[in-house]
Amino acid sequence: MELLLLTFLGTPLWMWLLFITLVIALLVFDLGVLHTDNHEIGVAESLRMSAMYIVLGLGFSGFIYWQMGTEATAQYLTAFVVEKTLAMDNIFVIALIFGFFAIPREYQHRVLFWGILGVIVLRGIMIGLGATIVENYHWVLYLFALFLVFTGIKMLFAKEESHDLSDNRLVRFMRRRFRVTDELHGQKFIAKLPDAKTGRLVRHATPLLLALVMIEIADLVFAVDSVPAVFTITTDPFLVYTSNIFAILGLRALYFALAAILHRFAYLKYALSLLLVFIGSKIFIADLMGWEKFPPTWSLGITFAILGAGVVFSLWKTNGDKTGRIASHSPGE
């Protein structure tokens, strides 16, 4: 019992173990009960799954309130909402990747499931390193803040770009360095096929494996924005990690629910831009006002206001637009 009361990154070890156990239980339930077979996940099923993960993520704030108090709860909720919203960009990129490699919907859940496992580990490493750096060099928070403000302004004025993965450096590198087949072989990430020169059976990477690698790399890129954003909301590693993971756990369900209607959120990027600028500027506003920190409840309210306005504006501007923006490409195109 004394071991469980020891602190790890400023939080009792039993709280970390409880959270990790909960995450493992959710993943086992997801793969071992809900998705024992490969099937196409419809909108109704994805909405139920997404609602379940959102309820669990919000419900965890009750545990935070019980153990850590009101301020920590507001910080957790703000971080959770911000991470969930930033995941919209992830969904857009995931849709592009699946379209480019022509991954059927019945296999997409398998790719996303293993992708989420990798993300959980990678985010843990990044957050652990970030927490250590911030604890020893507090001024790094100002660099994070400036980076977010710069990123938000850049996103606000960025022009629309075409997303053609055929010229992607990572895709070209994998095709040069590894044996790759353009054909799917069921749900296999690696398939044994005859070598073109020797005729012997050798391992080939399938489009599922290429899509998985691309999704993992894409998350690393997005983490460069999202992890600093959360650290400017709270420097508590437990709040940073739990809010990140709960937002990511529901990413698969959110993808299947929104992939077909992403074009309705075409203008949400402006709200995300303003949100990044606001989150980055909080530390400077607090210094100017002589506050110890920006009030967490204000931060939560302003975050909801910005995102709510962005969603309403985007839905209003795209009302009647039934044409999606995500084009599908096969590997041979």
How far apart CA 128 and CA 83 sit, in angstroms, is: 17
Identify the pLDDT of residue 72: 93
Strands (DSSP E) contained in the chain are 7-8, 11-12, 190-194, 201-205
C-alpha dist (Å) from residue 100 to 40, 43, 177, 182: 18, 22, 20, 11
Most confident of 40-44, 53-57, 258-262: 53-57
The predicted model gives 153-160 an average pLDDT of 75
174 close to 206: Cβ distance less than 8 angstroms: no
DSSP three-state, residue 294: coil
> Residue 184 corresponds to which tokens in the numbers above?
């799917």
**Nearest residue to 98 (alpha-carbon basis) of 256, 264, 248, 267:** 256
Instruction: Give the chain's mean pLDDT.
Output: 80
The predicted model gives 287-309 an average pLDDT of 84
pTM to 2 decimal places:
0.79
**Nearest residue to 9 (alpha-carbon basis) of 244, 237, 241:** 237
DSSP three-state, residue 133: helix
> Residue 275 corresponds to which tokens in the numbers above?
């949100």
Whether pLDDT at 61 is above 90: yes
Spatial neighbors of 6 by CB under 8 A, at least 6 apart, are 12, 13
Identify the pLDDT of residue 186: 81
Identify the pLDDT of residue 179: 85
β-bridge partners, 201: 194
Whether pLDDT at 156 is above 50: yes
